[in-house]
Amino acid sequence: MISVAIDGPAGAGKSTLSRKTAENLGFIYVDTGALYRTVGLKFSRMGADTELKCDIEGILADTTVDIRFVDCEQRVFLDGEDVSEAIRTPSASMMASAVSAKPPVRAFLLEMQRKLARENNVVMDGRDIGTVVLPNATVKIYLTASAEDRAKRRYDELVQKGTDVTFKEVYDDMVQRDYNDMHREIAPLKQADDAILADTSGYEFEDSLALLLKIIKENTNI
């Protein structure tokens, strides 16, 4: 099986680009960030804030997260409910960052991710795919862009969906998310030693996609 690990900061376009890359290659796309957002949503619904001063193990014991592929698109279910849209908000992003720093949450989702890679050709994106989840991935890519570029992309996406948000709110959340992800004690965001850097600052979507496909094809027998 071929596994492509794509790591990088929030708003780098990992989800959209990884999904399209997988589609071009005929691989399964696994959005690991959606899994953490889903767990974060559960904690939010239980009344927790980003401090997570609650019974983490107890809540997880009563939580079911499922991935289902519909027409090659990943849909995420929380306790039987499709929450694929509900998890795409700035508050969900911040809660995802909070829960992903907790070892019980990471252990809860780790085997699910590895099993998908063992059984399928995958493009998997997240924060620590190449460093922790799939350390032996066939190809590792660190996808990034400037904070301004990333905030603008996320802002446009949210506005298009009708979310009431300002660019400053999105930018400030982005900077804080970067800091949290890079400084957390467990599996901090960083470029794996053997990962290839893909900086898409100033790139249009098609240029970014072409860059990822070029990197993958040059490092596999595809």
Residue 127, classed as helix, strand or coil, is coil
What is the pLDDT averaged over residues 88-111? Answer: 88
Which CATH number is 3-217 given? 3.40.50.300
Q: What is the mean pLDDT of the chain?
A: 91
Domain boundaries, the chain: 3-217
Q: Which pLDDT value is given to residue 122?
A: 94
Angle at 10 (CA atoms; ends 194, 7), nearest 5 degrees? 20
Q: Which pLDDT value is given to residue 48?
A: 87
How far lies 170's CA from each of 157, 204, 214, in Å? Answer: 11, 20, 31
Residue 191, classed as helix, strand or coil, is coil
- pLDDT tens-digit series, residues 8-60: 998 898 889 999 999 999 998 988 889 999 999 999 999 888 888 899 999 99
What angle separates helix 90-100 from helix 167-183, to the nearest 10 degrees? Answer: 10
Task: Check if the beta carbon of residue 127 is closer than 8 Å to that of residue 14.
Answer: no
Residue 10, classed as helix, strand or coil, is coil
Whether residue 184 is predicted with pLDDT greater than 70 in this model: the reply is: yes
Q: Which residues, in sequence order, are CB contacts of 158 under 8 Å at separation 6+?
A: 89, 90, 165, 170
Whether residue 136 is predicted with pLDDT greater than 70 in this model: the reply is: yes
Angle at 128 (CA atoms; ends 122, 130), nearest 5 degrees? 55
What are the beta bridge partners of residue 31?
125
Q: Which pLDDT value is given to residue 99?
A: 92
One-letter amino acid at 193 equals: D
Task: Check if the beta carbon of residue 138 is closer than 8 Å to that of residue 4.
Answer: yes
The share of the chain scoring above pLDDT 70, in percent, equals 100
Whether residue 72 is predicted with pLDDT greater than 70 in this model: the reply is: no
